[in-house]
Amino acid sequence: MPHMIIRGISVPQIQSISTVMISELADVCSCGTDNFMLECLPTVSISQGEICDTYPFIEVGWFERGQEIRDAYADVVTRHILSLGVPEVEIAFKVYREDSYYWNGKLI
Amino acid sequence: MPHMIIRGISVPQIQSISTVMISELADVCSCGTDNFMLECLPTVSISQGEICDTYPFIEVGWFERGQEIRDAYADVVTRHILSLGVPEVEIAFKVYREDSYYWNGKLI
Amino acid sequence: MPHMIIRGISVPQIQSISTVMISELADVCSCGTDNFMLECLPTVSISQGEICDTYPFIEVGWFERGQEIRDAYADVVTRHILSLGVPEVEIAFKVYREDSYYWNGKLI
């Protein structure tokens, strides 16, 4: 954790920014870089009856860290995604409950 | 937004209903048709040790709009999905927090 | 329901444990085995700029059942996943709202 589930941005694009982006996010979160999971999720998008490009969207799953860290996190991710030439990206955060998250069967 | 992540219904099936369904959903939500994201998510389902068809399921991600609009939204989606000959479909709504949803790094 | 969306564990591995695991989970939940949806979700994970194995992660979507049943559920899933030789697995539960979950257009 944090988990980042990425839609609408290609694997090579994410590879090209991943190392620096994760390093900056680890600073924002004051945690190690090995806590992050960065996963591209393939979906097939449909508009007007046709298959179309998927809109760039990232869902971040984590424990609540407050508005200031969330804003900073979104800022880092957005900056790196836009640096790829992607014109826009949306990011939504989803909060895991601490009483509902298990590592090897134990609450963490 | 709204996002619709669709499992267990084929891409051509969704293509065949997408234009009319999105038009009706835009009426329900009083927003433009270009706000909607319709994405088919491929998963591999397992039952009794065998790979099986995925149960038709749609997750709608959006901001809270209240019970009346939610019911109407589910009604439109269900009617179009059942028109495909799909015998049953489940729909779950997930609500994004307005303090946790960013467009190009800014809360929207 | 419950839905289990599985990342980072192969389809054949899940096939090999599915029948016994679902049977035990049905006991934990006091429901029939045909309520469960077990779906493997393919994602492409990236670390240090390279494509890497996806971390074993299971998201369980259901209605709230309380800590005791949740702990028991996580325990059953963890035991079966670790029995595959997978060294670690994380499980997160996400709760559906009963006013926001529809079967064929009707709240269930």
pLDDT at A67: 98
Which of A4, A23, A104, A106 is the mutation pick for testing C, counting most C CBs within 10 A? A104
Across the interface, whether the CB atoms of A54 and B41 are under 8 A apart is answered no
pLDDT at B19: 98
Which of A5, A102, A106 is the mutation pick for testing C, counting most C CBs within 10 A? A102
The better pLDDT of the pair A1, B89 is held by B89
Q: Please name the residue of chain C whose CA is at the shortest distance from the CA of residue A9.
A: C44
Asked if B93 is an interface residue toward chain A (Cβ–Cβ < 8 A), one would say no
- Distance from the Cα of C42 to chain B's closest Cα (Å) equals 7
- The ipTM estimated for the assembled molecules is 0.96
pLDDT at C61: 98
Q: What is the pLDDT of residues C22-68, one digit of tens each?
A: 999 999 999 999 999 999 999 999 999 999 999 999 999 999 999 99
Q: On the CB side of A13, how many CA atoms lie within 13 Å of its CA?
A: 15
Query: Is the backbone peptide bond immediately before A2 cis, with ω within 30 degrees of 0?
Result: yes
* CATH number of residue A57's parent domain: 3.30.429.10
Asked if A64 is an interface residue toward chain B (Cβ–Cβ < 8 A), one would say no
Asked if B76 is an interface residue toward chain C (Cβ–Cβ < 8 A), one would say no
pLDDT at B96: 98
- Distance from the Cα of B70 to chain A's closest Cα (Å) equals 20
Query: Which of C37, C96, C105 is nearest residue B75 as measured by Cβ atoms?
Result: C105
Is residue B84 within 8 Å of B16, Cβ to Cβ? yes
pLDDT at B83: 98
Asked if B14 is an interface residue toward chain A (Cβ–Cβ < 8 A), one would say yes
Question: Which of B63, B49, B58, B65 has the alpha carbon at shortest distance from B86?
Answer: B58
Asked if C83 is an interface residue toward chain A (Cβ–Cβ < 8 A), one would say no
What percent of chain C is modeled with pLDDT above 90?
Answer: 98
Query: Which of A41, A47, A78 is nearest residue B104 as measured by Cβ atoms?
Result: A78
Give chain C's domain count.
1
Which of B4, B46, B65, B84 is the mutation pick for testing C, counting most C CBs within 10 A? B46
Across the interface, whether the CB atoms of C15 and B46 are under 8 A apart is answered yes
Q: Would the pTM of this model clear 0.95, i.e. be above it?
A: yes
Containing structural domain, residue A46: 3-107
Contacts of A19 in chain C (CB under 8 A): 48-49
- pLDDT mean over C81-98: 98
A43: helix, coil or strand? coil
Q: What is the pLDDT of residues B16-61, one digit of tens each?
A: 999 999 999 999 999 999 999 999 999 999 999 999 999 999 999 9
Q: What is the pLDDT of residues A22-61, one digit of tens each?
A: 999 999 999 999 999 999 999 999 999 999 999 999 999 9
Indicate the Cα dihedral angle A7, A104, A96, B66, nearest 10°.
80
Asked if C92 is an interface residue toward chain B (Cβ–Cβ < 8 A), one would say no
pLDDT at C66: 98
Q: What is the pLDDT of residues B51-95, one digit of tens each?
A: 999 999 999 999 999 999 999 999 999 999 999 999 999 999 999
Asked if B102 is an interface residue toward chain A (Cβ–Cβ < 8 A), one would say yes
Position A20 confidence tier, pLDDT thresholds 50, 70, 90: very high
CA pair distance B68, A54, nearest whole angstrom = 29
- The helix (run of H) or strand (run of E) holding residue B103 is strand B101-103
Residue type, A19: T
- pLDDT mean over A77-102: 98
pLDDT at B49: 96
Across chain C, mean pLDDT equals 97
Supply C108's token pair. Answer: 């269930």
Which of C6, C17, C39, C62 is the mutation pick for testing B, counting most B CBs within 10 A? C39
